[in-house]
Structure 1
Amino acid sequence: MYGFIATFDEKTDHIIKDIWKELNQKSISSYAYEVESRKPHITLASYNDLNQFDFMKQMDDYYNGKTVIDISFNTIGSFLNSGALFYTPTVTKDLIDFHNNHHKNFRHFNDDPSSLYSPDSWIPHCTIANRLTAEKLSEAFNYCSRRNDTILGQMVEVALIDVSNKDRAPIIHSKKLVS
């Protein structure tokens, strides 16, 4: 299994990592530390099986010269019955176009038409905590909703990650976006 993600500028990355650390210190969530080298991100696509070489070549070609995407996190959400808490970016035309164009240009790699990351199902988000009890979800929500104002940042890089091992999600290949 593979994920295709967008990662953030240094400042945004640092803010999210600080929140992860604080939630862990308050014994609310250890989400950030359940997977080795977890990076704050927005997942753009998922694949069950993939020819890595072909995907990485197309990734380099397609994303060459693509520009960074401005993001603004000002909403906290949760998927029903999931115990997940996340920040949702403002859904801009640039963000939707970036996502849709990826799926259009990489459609021959799509091996799961019912993926939650397909254009008709995608809810862009950056996970803050996961698998929380109702009580811990409430604690995390209360903490995160008061912790900071809107987080302004950028998606600055796209990356292919291997999520076949539940304890690790290494980046296989990445491509920086142009500022």
Structure 2
Amino acid sequence: MAQALDLFFDAEADAAVRALWQRLDDAGIPSMAARTHRRHRPHVTLAMGASIPPSARKAVRTELEALSLPDLWLYTLGTFPAEESVLLLGAITDTEILAVHSAAHDALTGKVTQPSAYYLPGAWIPHCTLARGITRSELSAGFAALHPAEPVRAAVTAVGVTDTRTGEIDVLLDSHA
């Protein structure tokens, strides 16, 4: 997958997630910061596909401009039951974030090339990735290094499409603009 529709956080939440990444790095577990050479910003992904073309970006921008983007509570230290080990900070799933997710997917339907099933409504688990592609022993050590993780209140300040290979972001909405 090459492009993701992401929610980005206010400076305080961004710094809190980066501090968790640093704690992992200090414990010898490669965090997302280390894995991506610090190209990527902390975020929650709404949708992912091989390509999110300009028409889809315009449609999602129009749809999301009509909504109030809720604050996210990144609350649960967890993992997925998948082959690749992922350490994550899960967001509390409430009706507001589900409405944003649903609106984004309504706008993207039929426009995204090879959409990832993991991010479709009904399958999506809102989360901020702390580490991925780590070994089982690194996953256990990561839990030990971060537990107990303090909840992070993240105000969503921007929405953008991220090229997952380069980290380049096409900002669709920015509350600072």
Residue 97 of structure 1 pairs with residue 99 of structure 2: yes
- 2:144 corresponds to which of 136, 142, 164: 142
| Pairing partner for 1:44 from 43, 46, 62 | 46
Matches within 5 A, 1:1-179: 1-36=2-37, 37-52=39-54, 54-64=55-65, 66-80=67-81, 81-112=83-114, 115-146=117-148, 148-163=149-164, 165=165, 168-177=166-175
Query: TM-score of the superposition, structure 2-length normalised?
Result: 0.87
Shift of 1:31: 2.6
Deviation per residue, 1:101-152 (Å, 9 max, x gap) = 1101221313336621010211111001111111111111122122x42222
Letter in 1 for 2:174: K
Give the stretch that moved more between structures: 100-109 or 38-47: 100-109
**What SS does the aligned partner of 2:4 have?**
strand
Q: Secondary structure at the match of 2:141?
A: helix
CA deviation profile, 1:28-81 (whole Å, cap 9, x unmatched): 2243122242110111001223433x2333344333353231111221111123
| Structure 1 residue 177, shift from structure 2 partner | 4.5
User: What secondary structure, in the 3-state scheme, does the structure 2 residue paired with 1:112 have?
Assistant: coil
**Distance in 2 (alpha carbons) for counterparts of 1:113 and 1:131:** 21
Distance 1:67 1:27, change over 3 A: same
Q: What do you get for the CA RMSD once the two structures are aligned?
A: 2.0
CA distance 1:58–1:151, shift in 2 (3 Å): same
Secondary structure of 1:84's match? strand
CA contact (8 A) 1:73 1:87 kept: yes
Query: 1:62 aligns to what SS in structure 2?
Result: helix
Question: Aligned partners of 2:27 and 2:157: how far apart in 1?
Answer: 30
Unaligned runs of 5+ in 2: none
Is this contact kept in 1: 2:56–2:107, CA < 8 A?
no
User: Which TM-score applies when normalising by structure 1?
Assistant: 0.86
Identity rate of aligned residues, in percent? 23
Q: Indicate if the aligned counterparts of 1:64 and 1:177 stay in contact, CA closer than 8 A.
A: no
Q: Distance in 2 between matches of 1:18 and 1:113?
A: 31
